[in-house]
Amino acid sequence: MSVGQPHSTLLRLVAVTASRVASRRAGRLRQAAAVILSAACGISLAGCAGTATASRTAAPAAADGVSYSALSIGPSHDGIAVIPPSEIAAASRLSADPLWIAVTPRYVGAALPDIQSAREIGRVGTARLWIARSTKRGICLLEFDPSQSANPARAHRVVAECGYRAELPKGIVMLNREAGGRNVTTAFGLVPDGVARTFAHFGDGTATAVTAARNFYSFTTDKVVKSITFFGRDGTPITAIKIGATS
């Protein structure tokens, strides 16, 4: 599921499965059902949702032998400031910096990022990426990219793609399509420990291998992405994401 603050009057919390595609203002594709959250996050400013309080431990998330060691590497709460809704107006005057607004979501089934567990795992161009635990015992991939804002100098919005415990073996994928009519897609993804590479499959029938390090991988392509796959630690083929013909 994806959470983040779109450029509109209300925050939308978008629930998606690992087989769906994240979308945002810069052209991110979404196939999702939106649930309106608190109007306290009405300024298009920052990521916004509740944060976990019970799951803040040093151990990486694990289910049936699946783990993500990047969750225990480096400082926690790494680079993302958490602010209450009362500080939104003041924060909107600050220079670009990733912010997360701590509010209580109305959708109790939502998988949200535990910001306190976030570890930065990569920088790709102007984008910063983090791994974090989700409130549903899964993992989250968080992105902050000021270049996608209408006002990059005052950008604060963090976008998060989160999963549930049962989805840990699949990892997490974000697909961002570049704005301006260019057919360029950037993929960010998380894979479990023991996965050294993923395979991107394209609409023209070709495929390419993408190296993964510290549970993270990324690639940019001008081809249509149809699926991303990898092999689990035991050799089992796993589909991280599969995009239908209408995507």
Q: Measured between alpha carbons, how far is 100 from 233 in angstroms, rounded to an integer?
A: 34
Residue 4: strand, helix, or coil: strand
Three-class secondary structure of residue 169 per DSSP? helix
Provide the pLDDT for residue 120.
94
Helix (H) or strand (E) holding 82: strand 81-83
Place of tokens 């600050």: 94
The rounded Cα 157 to chain-centroid distance in angstroms is 12
* Cβ-contact 9, 42 below 8 angstroms: yes
pLDDT at 38: 29
Which residues 6+ apart lie within 8 Å of 87 measured at CB?
none
Query: Model's pTM, two decimal places?
Result: 0.74
C-beta of residue 154 within 8 angstroms of C-beta of residue 96 = yes
How far is the C-alpha of 50 from the C-alpha of 113, rounded, in Å?
A: 8
- 204: burial class by Cβ within 10 Å (0-12, 13-18, 19+)? exposed
pLDDT along the chain (247 residues), means of 10: 40 29 33 26 45 38 80 81 86 84 81 93 93 95 89 85 95 85 88 96 96 96 96 92 67
How many angstroms separate the Cα of 159 from the Cα of each of 26, 47, 87, 184?
A: 12, 6, 19, 19
